[in-house]
Structure 1
Amino acid sequence: MNKIYYYIASVLILLTGCSQSSHLHISTTIEAPWQMVTNTVLQNSQTASALSLTINTADTGQVIEGFGACFNELGWDALSFLSEEDRNEVLQELFQPGKGANFNICRMPIAANDFSRDWYSYAETPNDYAMEHFSIKHDKETLIPFIHSALKFNPDIRIWASPWCPPTWMKTNGHYASRYQRNCRNDKFRNGLFLSQEGHEGTDMFRTDSIHLNAYALYFQKFIQAYRKNGINIFAVMPQNEYNSAQVFPSCIWTANSLAKFIGSYLGPVMKKEGVEVMFGTMERPHYLQVDTVLQNPSATPYISGVGFQWAGRKAIGEVRKRYPQMRLLQTEQECGNGKNDWKGLLHSWDILKHFMNNGVSIYNYWNMALLEGGVSRWGWAQNSLAVVDSTRHTYRWTPEYYLMKHVSHFVSPDAHYIKSTGEAAQKSISFVNPDGQIIIIMVEEDGQDQWIEISASGKEKKMVLLRANSINTICL
Structure 2
Amino acid sequence: MRWHPEIYGCIVLLAIFCSASSVRRDTPCAARATNVSVVCVCNATYCDEITRVSPPRGLFYVYTSSNAGLRFFKTSGVLSQYGPRKPYCTTVLDLDLSTRHQTVEGFGGAVTDSAGMTWANISNPQLKEYLIRSYFGNTGIEYNMLRLPIAATDFSPRLYSYSDEPENQTTLTNFSLAPEDYEYKIPMIKAAMKVATDELHIVGSAWGSPLWMKTKPNFTGTEQIKEEYYGAFAEYHYKFIEHYAAQGIDIWGLTTVNEPLSGLMSLGNNNRVTWTAQGLGTWIAEHLGPMIRNSPFKDVKILTGDDQRMCVPLWFNLVVSETPAALDYIDGVAVHFYFDDFTPPEMLTEPLKNYPGKFVLYTESSFGVDETPHVYFGSWDRAQQYARNIIEDLNYNVIGWIDWNLCLNPQGGPSWLPTALDAAIIIFAENNEFIKQPMFYALGHFSKFLPRGSIRVEKVQHSPCKEKVDSVTFVTPRGTVVTVLQNDVALPAFLSSAHSTSGLVSKILRT
**Structures share a fold, TM > 0.5?**
yes
CA contact (8 A) 1:20 1:438 kept: no
| 8 Å Cα contact 1:93/1:101 also seen in 2 | yes
Are 1:320 and 2:314 matched, yes or no?
A: no
1:195 aligned residue:
none
How far the C-alpha of 1:324 sits from its partner, in A, is 2.6
Cα distance in 2 for partners of 1:352, 1:33 equals: 20
Aligned-partner SS, 1:414: coil
Q: Which runs of 5+ in 1 are unaligned?
A: 179-198, 200-204, 452-465
Alignment partner, residue 304 of structure 2: 280
Give the direction of change, closer, same or farther, for the CA distance of 1:56–1:284 in structure 2 (3 Å limit).
Answer: same
Deviation at 1:253, TM superposition (A): 1.5
TM-score, scaled to structure 1? 0.84
For 1:347, the equivalent position in structure 2 comes to 384
Matched, 1:390 2:428: yes
Q: Distance in 2 between matches of 1:20 and 1:365?
A: 33
Is the 1:106–1:157 contact (alpha carbons within 8 Å) kept by the matching residues of 2? yes
What corresponds to 1:133 in structure 2? 174
Q: CA deviation at 1:325?
A: 3.8
Structure 1 residues 65 and 45, CA gap change in structure 2 (3 angstroms)? closer
Question: What does residue 25 of structure 1 align with?
Answer: 62
The answer to whether residue 129 in structure 2 is matched with residue 103 in structure 1 is: no
Q: CA shift at 1:450, angstroms?
A: 5.0
Do the aligned partners of residues 62 and 450 (structure 1) sit closer, same or farther apart at CA in structure 2, a change above 3 Å counting? Answer: farther
Q: Give the gaps of 5 or more residues in structure 2.
A: 1-28, 31-41, 369-373
Deviations 1:279-315 (A, max 9, x none): 2121325144321122343321111111111134764
Partner AA of 1:172 in structure 2: T
* Equivalent runs, 1:257-336 vs 2, <5 Å: 257-272=278-293, 273=295, 274-275=297-298, 276-284=300-308, 286-290=310-314, 291-296=316-321, 297-310=323-336, 311-312=338-339, 315=344, 316-336=347-367
Q: Which moved more, 1:318-327 or 1:105-114?
A: 318-327
Q: Provide the C-alpha distance between the structure 2 equivalents of 1:448 and 1:174, rounded to a whole number of angstroms.
A: 55
Please state whether the residue corresponding to 1:397 is helix, strand or coil.
strand
Which deviates more from structure 2 when the two are superposed, residues 104-113 or residues 305-314?
Answer: 305-314
TM-aligned CA distance change 1:277 to 1:51, over 3 Å:
closer
Instruction: State whether structure 2 residue 484 is matched by structure 1 residue 473.
Output: no
Match for residue 70 of structure 1?
A: 110
1:16-415 aligned at under 5 Å gives the runs 16-30=53-67, 31-37=69-75, 46=86, 48-82=88-122, 83-96=124-137, 98-125=138-165, 126-138=167-179, 139-154=181-196, 156-178=199-221, 199=222, 205-209=223-227, 211-246=228-263, 247-272=268-293, 273=295, 274-275=297-298, 276-284=300-308, 286-290=310-314, 291-296=316-321, 297-310=323-336, 311-312=338-339, 315=344, 316-337=347-368, 338-341=374-377, 342-376=379-413, 377-415=415-453
Q: Which range moved further: 425-434 or 87-96? A: 425-434
Which residue identity is paired with 1:301?
A: L
Assess if the C-alpha contact under 8 Å between 2:386 and 2:443 holds in 1: no
Measure, in 2, the Cα distance between the counterparts of 1:285 and 1:65: 19
- Bigger drift between 327-336 and 392-401 goes to 327-336
Aligned residue pair count? 433
Distance in 2 (CA, whole Å) between partners of 1:346 and 1:235 is 28
Aligned to 1:190: none
Q: CA separation of 1:45/1:131 partners in 2, compared to 1, >3 Å: closer, same or farther?
A: closer
Residues 340 and 374, structure 1, Cα contact 8 Å, conserved in 2: no
CA deviations over 1:47-68 (Å, ceiling 9, x no partner): 5433222222123211111111
- Matched-pair contact (CA < 8 Å) for 1:235–1:277: yes
Distance 1:38 1:46, change over 3 A: farther
Question: Given the superposition, is the C-alpha separation of residues 208 and 173 from structure 1 closer, same or farther in structure 2, using an over 3 Å criterion?
Answer: closer
- Shift of the 435–47 alpha-carbon distance from structure 1 to 2, 3 Å rule, reads farther
Closer/same/farther in 2, CA of residues 213 and 35 from structure 1, 3 Å limit? same
Q: Which residue of 2 aligns with 1:184?
A: none
- 1:320-358 C-alpha deviation (Å, 9 max, x unpaired): 232334311111112434321511111221222122112
CA RMSD of aligned residues (A): 2.6
Deviation at 1:474, TM superposition (A): 0.8
Distance across 2 between alignment mates of 1:45 and 1:411:
28
- Name the aligned partner's letter for residue 143 of structure 1: K
**1:244 match: secondary structure:** helix
Aligned-residue identity in percent: 23
SS in 2 for 1:372: coil
Contact 2:428 / 2:434 at 8 angstroms: preserved in 1? yes
Query: Does the 8 Å CA contact 2:59/2:76 hold for their aligned counterparts?
Result: no
Question: 1:331 & 1:106 partners in 2: Cα distance?
Answer: 11
Q: Distance in 2 between matches of 1:382 and 1:19?
A: 46
The 10-residue stretch of structure 1 (244-253 or 408-417) with the greater mean CA deviation from structure 2: 244-253
Alpha-carbon displacement from aligned partner over 1:363-403 (angstroms, at most 9, x marks no partner): 21111111111313331222121211113212101111110
The question of whether the paired residues in 1 share the 8 Å contact of 2:309 and 2:348 is answered with no
Label 1:120 to 1:433 Cα distance change in 2 as closer, same or farther (>3 A): same
| Structure 1 residue 432 displacement after superposition | 1.1
Q: 1:53 to 1:39 in 2, by over 3 A?
A: closer
Relative distance call for 1:228 and 1:53 in structure 2 (3 A) is: same
